[in-house]
Amino acid sequence: MREADVEGRRVLVRSDLNVPLEDGRIADDTRIHASLPTLRLLLERGADEVTVCSHLGRPKGPEPAFSLRPVEERLHELLPDERIHVLENTRFNPGETKNEPSFARELADHHDLFVQDAFGSVHRAHASTVGVTEFLPAYAGLLLEKELTELGKLLGEVERPFVLISGGAKVEDKLGVLRNLGGKADAVLIGGKMAEQLRDDNPLPFDVVLPVDVVAAREFAEDAEAKVTAYDELPEGWLGLDIGPETRKLFADRIAAARTIFWNGPMGVFEWPRFAEGTKAIAEAVAGSDAYSVVGGADSVRALTELGLEDEVSWLSTGGGAALELLEGKELPGVAAIPES
């Protein structure tokens, strides 16, 4: 985008403003902050209008709980400039995830150029990440560039041992990626919902380090009856909502010995204090290491910032799934759609 002539132009920007929400409020605004340098540069260079678009969550249609209005409000607080507008959640339109040209054209309409800055979403071939580039000249934003530079350091030769830590909720998405990542890392530590799923059926074709114990809860509730049990002795009907104390120690030791670290996804339901200790232990271990450490994904980033540890890692990535796919060596459609990228 540094090479784009934006003066007097109307610019459409795709940012990843898919922030974690809690009780209808923004639980962590890291992704909003990360979108600012690109927007500032466009304003400084005299853009006439800057339209920001993003998805938020995975709504089935126009669900008010996934409105981008609170995000727009926060963005305007951080960057008060009346040339900036934030469109409503792109996923309110079914054409978004189907990459329908009619929706892409609708987004592109009344704009002169497109800036792709949504690193966290470039692994999706959607109307707002790929489709629009059929209708507008496309440029890479500053965050996208920075993310590719920092994460690029994990491609090719890395200092070993390389420890990959994976957790979080989007298990199906991540299992596919992990399958191809096994050979890259020297150890893959798995916690959270993914570890729960792998207890009975582990399709990964390589050795992973699974929990030895979990914090088991009788039901999925913040105040549920809970106790520590062995990983393979979870009582019938109970749920593992965090990794247990033995596992925290085991994982922390592996992390302490690492020279390169990539962490994506919390170790449990860390939004609830009684199930937050595992994620906290991992955040502290990663922050305490002097290895090259990358933490990616909205929830892991949130966990780290809540502990005030965001400056203790080498790179805090706004991408979770996107970072994993980059690491896997896959082409990212939202990047590939930018000419000469």
List residues binding ligand 3PG (CB under 6 A).
16, 18, 58, 120-121, 124, 170, 298, 320-321
- Give the closest residue to 56 by CA, choosing from 66, 69, 70: 66
On the CB side of 128, CA atoms within 13 Å amount to 29
58 binds, among ligand 3PG, Mg ion, none (CB under 5 to 8 A by kind): ligand 3PG
The residue with its CB nearest to ligand 3PG is 18
Buried b (16+ CB within 10 A) or exposed e, 193-224: bbbbebeeeeeeeeebbbbbbbbbbeeeeeeb
Instruction: Name the residue nearer to ligand 3PG (CB basis): 146 or 254.
Output: 146
Q: How far is the CB of 176 from Mg ion (least distance, A)?
A: 15
User: Two tokens at 139?
Assistant: 């440029």
Q: How far apart are CA 219 and CA 297, in angstroms?
A: 26
Instruction: Name the residue nearer to Mg ion (CB basis): 108 or 298.
Output: 298
Q: How far is the CB of 105 from Mg ion (least distance, A)?
A: 28
Cβ pair 177, 321 in contact under 8 A: yes
16 binds, among ligand 3PG, Mg ion, none (CB under 5 to 8 A by kind): ligand 3PG
- Give the closest residue to 231 by CA, choosing from 254, 220, 207, 247: 247
Q: How far is the CB of 21 from Mg ion (least distance, A)?
A: 12
- Give the closest residue to 75 by CA, choosing from 111, 51, 91: 51
Q: How far is the CB of 135 from ligand 3PG (least distance, A)?
A: 22
Instruction: Name the residue nearer to ligand 3PG (CB basis): 277 or 299.
Output: 299
Cis peptide before 62 (omega within 30 of 0): no
Q: How far is the CB of 297 from Mg ion (least distance, A)?
A: 5
Q: Which residue has tokens 């400084």?
A: 44
28 binds, among ligand 3PG, Mg ion, none (CB under 5 to 8 A by kind): none
Q: How far is the CB of 92 from ligand 3PG (least distance, A)?
A: 14
Instruction: Name the residue nearer to Mg ion (CB basis): 185 or 298.
Output: 298
Sign of CA pseudo-dihedral 27, 12, 86, 47: positive
Instruction: Name the residue nearer to Mg ion (CB basis): 131 or 320.
Output: 320
121 binds, among Mg ion, ligand 3PG, none (CB under 5 to 8 A by kind): ligand 3PG
Q: How far is the CB of 198 from Mg ion (least distance, A)?
A: 20
Query: What CA–CA distances, in Å, run from 88 to 58, 68, 246?
Result: 14, 5, 45
Cβ pair 208, 190 in contact under 8 A: yes
Instruction: Name the residue nearer to ligand 3PG (CB basis): 211 or 320.
Output: 320
Contacts (Cβ under 8 Å, ≥6 apart) of 134: 101, 104
Instruction: Name the residue nearer to Mg ion (CB basis): 31 or 111.
Output: 31
Q: Note the residues at the interface with Mg ion (CB under 5 A).
A: 298, 320
